[in-house]
Amino acid sequence: MEKLALKAYWKANIKILISLLLVWFLASFGFGILWSDELDQIQIGGFKLGFWFAQQGSIYIFVLLIFIYVHLMNKLDQKYKKQISQELNRK
Amino acid sequence: MSTQELTYLFVGLSFALYIGIAFWSRARSTTDFYVAGKGVNPLANGMATAADWMSAASFISMAGLIAFMGKDGSVYLMGWTGGYVLLALLLAPYLRKFGQFTVPDFIGTRYYSRTARLVAVLCLIFVSFTYVAGQMRGVGIVFSRFLEVDINQGVIIGMIIVFFYAVLGGMKGITYTQVAQYCVLIFAYLVPAIFISILMTGNPIPQLGFGDTIIDSPTYLLDKLDQVTLELGFPAYTENIKSNIDIFCITAALMFGTAGLPHVIVRFFTVPKVSDARKSAGYALVFIALLYTTAPAVGAFARVNFIDSVQDTKYVDAPSWFKNWENIGLISWNDKNNDGIIRYEAGNAFKDGRPKFIDELGQSGERMTANTSDISNQNEVYIDRDIMVLANPEIANLPGWVIALVAAGGLAAALSTAAGLLLVISAAISHDLLRKTFKPDITDKQELLYARLAAALAIFIAGLFGIYPPGFVAQVVAFAFGLAAATIFPALFLGIFSKTINKEGAISGMLVGLIFTFSYIAYFKFINPSLNQEENWLFGISPEGIGFLGMILNFFTAIVVSRFYLPPPTEVKQMVETIRQP
């Protein structure tokens, strides 16, 4: 049973990783590089949007991503620990 | 007090603080020495990681690079921060769970092989020494410009300070000194940036200021910068010059390289729990982002200010900072048309790179050089990009204490990174080479002694690099990140996320990544530098970005080769299971 719980935990973990890394890729390689020139057509204040993503926005998003990850993983860890202790009680 | 006296005061006070902390936090065991007893608070570790990470290159050089590269400079901003996301999500928590001392420890155990450990040690030592050489040059520049001591004396003073707290305190001493160094360096970076932002745009937040309008004018600062750079024959500041594929690969190589740098990874071995390792990576990135989001603002301000205060000025009326840096040899003025007026625009002042000064003064009193003049353009100014951050407060006419603060900050950045690297090198020698490979029977106490000796030796070698700087420091930085990305990152990632990669796969992957990346960089940087142009590059990827391709080759080789050999033994599979558990 413990093995099953671990398997579920790992699957959930991978799902979190993939979705967060997708955002990571979009914010930097996507908006900051690949589509940066197109986004530069949009200007907000003194910043062209693509330029802003490359020099500012991507970094803010990176910080956010790690804290979202911390939050999600702490929740997942708790769930896993609860599952394990329930298993033990049943035994 | 004069600026000079203030600088002595600030630098002296900060050094006294570092030594005091070193005494207070001496290491008493190998656990203390390698991983600070695994008892560092995640917030403190975040700060220490930030100081460890932000080197002389980040503090002194980066904003200057961006000032002259414009949007192309974004590769450093994204590359050197995005790696922390990879580190936090893919490596740090698992390696902390594994719970030993060094990065080769993990590779050696996971791939049940001494050879794998040795290959990892080799990459680690190469990457770390490359890096240390750059730090020592930073220390030398700051000392010679601000304290007016000889560069060599400056390097020796720096060595003694680092020796004190790295050899005495090990990781424990280094961590708490780095917390102090972070505070010094970030304060020193932000204060002048805020001042300049207020002066130029009236906005006290530099991150917003460089997107704001210039004070008393309706024009946006970046629009003006685009216009001025275009007029002088440069590409527009907010446009890319490099090709998209090259920008993509350089950014990726820097990101994956960052995540694979041993001196950054070991920082996450020092916190008490796995969840602390994740949190700590988040804090580290916040502290790093504070400087990294300010840097592009500083770069844009510096470019505007530099052009404004130099362009079409008579040399005799040039501001004092221009002559101060000329005296050190990092600025040179080549009066091509003999009119005594400084002309700055696109193109090289000299045909043959760096100025080679001779002992003669020109008509206006400028230092003469033995270089050949480049008459294909009218630019008369040679400027070393490394000086922009250090000169910025002077260019903007800020008070003396701000200039003194920047000097102390630059030293904090260089010393904190040097210490972190030296520790990783010493641990690789005393722990991985001696204890785990060649002399397994030494006691804990002997190992600690060897670790201290190795640290002392590493400091000595680093000092030699500072005093006799190899001419190739700038060229080899590409090596450090490229190799870390092409060797260490894939081995760690596959070790955690795959149970089927065996030692044959991992070792051949690392070797393929190492040899491919090394040869490509060596070919274009040392063997045939004249061919180092876009049309000769593989898929248009510059040597700076080739580590990304090396990494893909490593992954591919490791996965394919693993299929032909026996899968890893059961106890290794069990170990992987264990590190995946929270």
**pLDDT tens per residue, range B150-183:** 777 778 887 887 777 777 777 777 888 888 888 8
Q: Do A46 and B88 touch (CB under 8 A)?
A: no
B419, B176 Cβ separation under 8 angstroms: no
Assess whether pLDDT exceeds 60 at residue B474: no
In this predicted structure, what is the pLDDT of residue B86? 93
Assess B169–A contact: CB distance below 8 Å, yes or no.
Answer: no
In this predicted structure, what is the pLDDT of residue B476? 62
pTM: 0.88
Which chain B residues are closer than 8 Å to A52 by Cβ?
211
Which chain A residues are closer than 8 Å to B214 by Cβ?
none
Domain ranges of chain A: 2-90
Q: Dump pLDDT digits (tens) for B367-421.
A: 878 787 787 888 888 888 777 888 888 877 788 888 888 888 888 888 888 888 8
B526, B470 Cβ separation under 8 angstroms: no
Q: Dump pLDDT digits (tens) for B292-333.
A: 999 999 888 888 888 888 888 888 888 888 888 888 778 888
Chain B segment 28-87 residues within 8 A of A by beta carbon are: 66, 71, 73-74, 77-78, 81-82, 84-86
Which chain B residues are closer than 8 Å to A29 by Cβ?
248, 251-252
Query: Which of A10, A36, A67 has the CB atom closest to B282's CB atom?
Result: A67
Q: State both tokens at B377.
A: 């353009």
Q: Do B293 and A21 touch (CB under 8 A)?
A: no
Query: Which of B74, B85, B285 has the CB atom closest to A55's CB atom?
Result: B74
More confident residue, B478 or A24: A24
d(CA B141, CA B61): 11
Q: Is residue B312 left, alpha or beta, with left meaning phi > 0 and alpha meaning psi from -120 to 50?
A: left
Q: What is the mean pLDDT of residues B106-116?
A: 87
> DSSP letter at B488?
I
Tell me where in chain B the CATH 1.20.1730.10 domain(s) lie.
3-304+398-580
Q: Distance (Å) from the C-alpha of residue A87 to the closest C-alpha of chain B? A: 16
Task: Give the other-Cβ count within 10 Å of B404's Cβ.
Answer: 24
* Buried/exposed code over B225-258 (b: 16+ C-beta within 10 A; e: otherwise): bbebbeebebbbbbbbebeebbbbbbbbbbbbbb
When mean pLDDT is compared across A66-70, B143-147, B301-305, the lowest value belongs to: B143-147
Q: Do A34 and B244 touch (CB under 8 A)?
A: yes
Q: What is the mean pLDDT of residues A42-52?
A: 84
Q: Dump pLDDT digits (tens) for B253-298.
A: 999 998 988 888 888 887 878 888 888 888 989 999 999 999 999 8
Q: State both tokens at B156.
A: 């020796």
Assess B548–A contact: CB distance below 8 Å, yes or no.
Answer: no
When mean pLDDT is compared across B90-94, B185-189, B474-478, B572-576, the lowest value belongs to: B474-478
In this predicted structure, what is the pLDDT of residue A91? 63
More confident residue, B28 or B552: B552
Inter-chain CB pairs, A–B, below 8 Å: 123
Residues 6+ apart with CB under 8 A from B424: B102, B124, B128, B262, B263, B266
ipTM of this predicted structure: 0.92
Closest to B271 in 3D by CA, of B255, B283, B261, B289: B283
Assess B573–A contact: CB distance below 8 Å, yes or no.
Answer: no
Q: Do B77 and A47 touch (CB under 8 A)?
A: no
d(CA B546, CA B202): 42
Assess whether pLDDT exceeds 70 at residue B470: no
Q: Do B285 and A63 touch (CB under 8 A)?
A: yes
In this predicted structure, what is the pLDDT of residue B243? 79
Q: What is the mean pLDDT of residues B44-63?
A: 84
Which chain A residues are closer than 8 Å to B73 by Cβ?
55
What is the pLDDT confidence band of residue B129, given thresholds at 50, 70 and 90? confident
Q: What is the mean pLDDT of residues A56-82?
A: 90
Query: Which of B84, B211, B278 has the CB atom closest to A46's CB atom?
Result: B211
Q: Distance (Å) from the C-alpha of residue A49 to the closest C-alpha of chain B? A: 11
Q: What is the mean pLDDT of residues B53-79?
A: 85
- Measured in degrees and rounded to the nearest 5, phi and psi for residue B261 equal -75, 120
SS (H, E, C) B1-50: CCHHHHHHHHHHHHHHHHHHHHHHCCCCCHHHHHHHHHCCCHHHHHHHHH
B64, B234 Cβ separation under 8 angstroms: no
> DSSP letter at B261?
-
Q: Do A10 and B580 touch (CB under 8 A)?
A: yes
What's the first-to-final CA gap in chain A, in angstroms? Answer: 11
Assess whether pLDDT exceeds 90 at residue A63: yes
Which chain B residues are closer than 8 Å to A48 by Cβ?
222, 238
What 3-state DSSP class applies to B314? strand
- Name the range with the highest mean pLDDT among B185-189, B443-447, B455-459: B185-189
In this predicted structure, what is the pLDDT of residue B478? 62
In B54-150, where does DSSP find H-type helix?
Answer: 56, 62-69, 74-86, 92-98, 103-110, 114-142
The CA angle B175-B179-B183, to the nearest 5 degrees, is 160
Q: How far is CA B459 from CA B129, B416, B480, in A?
A: 10, 13, 19
Q: What is the mean pLDDT of residues B39-64?
A: 83
Q: Which chain A residue has the Cα nearest residue B84?
A: A62
Assess whether pLDDT exceeds 90 at residue A37: no
Q: In degrees to the nearest 10, what's the CA dihedral of B316, B322, B324, B329?
A: -110
Chain B segment 174-213 residues within 8 A of A by beta carbon are: 207, 210-213
Q: What is the mean pLDDT of residues A10-39?
A: 89
CATH homologous superfamily for the domain B3-304+398-580: Sodium/glucose cotransporter (1.20.1730.10)
- Measured N-to-C along each axis, helices B444-467 and B114-142 cross at an angle, to the nearest 10 degrees, of 50
What does pLDDT average to over chain B?
82
Q: Do B296 and A55 touch (CB under 8 A)?
A: yes
